[in-house]
């Protein structure tokens, strides 16, 4: 495990090919202001291009909050220029549409507002039993325009999403599991172990296959129909079938052994 300490608002470590990012503002319930968002954006941009890293896990420091969303106290006195978000959006994720590596949100407490939007922008959510999720923006005259409206209404039944979006309703980890936006619920003390186990299952698969799958998913999300969503598949299939990963995968299967992925 390698730990990096040269960050102001996060703590960062690597475990094999897994990058673990912990938002480190527990006294503010891990609320984020633009400097923290820019730090996270830089981290996720570096993760995307680092060939030694395959999966990222984002979680919150402390025992109570994943991320409380926007740092309202900072916003109260900041100028419009100071409030500007990075191109990758809130938490460095909500507008990072070019990302093709999996991100797991390990939600260790409440994820409200922008914090929930970060979790929704991740590809998988592992939640502790004490996790809670809400988009309470309408209660203070705002709306979940950091991707929360569109992602939630695509990831769960529409009318359930509308209820959460226009009432600010909070849901538990178990209800999130039932609705389908949470992948797994575990004991708080087991959260990182469960998240790393999920990352390990991803690592067991071909890096090229994961890249192709993530690219196809992203294109499909931008497409209005199945026909349109499938238009990119031929190009992706060619990339897959001409890769060294494909050759290694079928060879390992025939030889009844675990593949050693070249990653190209």
* Cβ-based neighbour number of residue 9 at 10 Å: 18
Per-residue model confidence as pLDDT tens digits over 53-66: 999 999 999 989 99
Lowest-confidence pick of 13-17, 69-73, 241-245: 69-73
For every residue of 97-134, DSSP letters joined together read TT--S-EEEEE-SEEETHHHHHHHHSSEEEEETT-EEE
- The structure's pTM equals 0.93
Question: Phi/psi zone of residue 47: left (φ > 0), alpha (ψ -120 to 50 degrees), beta?
Answer: alpha
Per-residue model confidence as pLDDT tens digits over 160-169: 999 999 999 9
Average pLDDT on 136-157 reads 94
Residues 6+ apart with CB under 8 A from 51: 263
Which CATH fold topology does 2-203 show? 2-enoyl-CoA Hydratase; Chain A, domain 1 (3.90.226)
Average pLDDT on 208-229 reads 89
Residues classed as catalytic: 117, 137
Q: Which comes out higher in pLDDT, residue 20 or 218?
A: 20
The CA-to-CA distance between both ends of the chain, in Å, stands at 25
């Amino acid at each position: 495990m390698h730990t990096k300490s040269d960050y102001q608002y996060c703590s960062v470590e690597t475990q094999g090919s897994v990058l673990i990012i912990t938002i480190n503002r527990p006294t503010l319930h891990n609320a984020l202001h633009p400097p923290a968002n820019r730090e996270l954006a830089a981290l996720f941009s570096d993760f995307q291009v680092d060939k030694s890293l395959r999966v990222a896990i984002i979680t919150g420091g402390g025992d109570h909050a994943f991320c409380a969303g926007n740092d309202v106290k900072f916003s109260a006195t900041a100028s419009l220029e100071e409030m500007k978000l990075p191109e990758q959006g809130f938490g460095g994720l909500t507008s990072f549409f070019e990302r093709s590596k999996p991100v797991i949100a390990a939600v260790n407490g409440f994820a409200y507002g922008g914090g929930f939007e970060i979790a929704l922008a991740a590809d998988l959510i592992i939640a502790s039993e004490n996790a809670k999720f809400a988009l309470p923006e309408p209660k203070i005259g705002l709306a979940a325009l950091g991707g929360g409206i569109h992602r939630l209404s695509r990831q769960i039944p529409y009318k359930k999403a509308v209820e959460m979006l226009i009432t600010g309703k909070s849901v538990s980890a178990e209800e999130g599991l039932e609705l389908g936006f949470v992948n797994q619920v575990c004991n708080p003390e087991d959260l990182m172990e469960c998240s790393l186990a999920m990352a390990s299952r991803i690592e067991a698969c071909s890096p090229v296959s994961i890249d192709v799958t993530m690219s196809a998913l992203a294109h499909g999300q931008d497409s209005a129909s199945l026909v349109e969503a499938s238009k990119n598949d031929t190009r992706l299939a060619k990339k897959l079938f001409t890769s060294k990963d494909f050759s290694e995968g079928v060879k390992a299967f025939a030889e009844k052994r675990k593949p050693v992925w070249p990653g190209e």
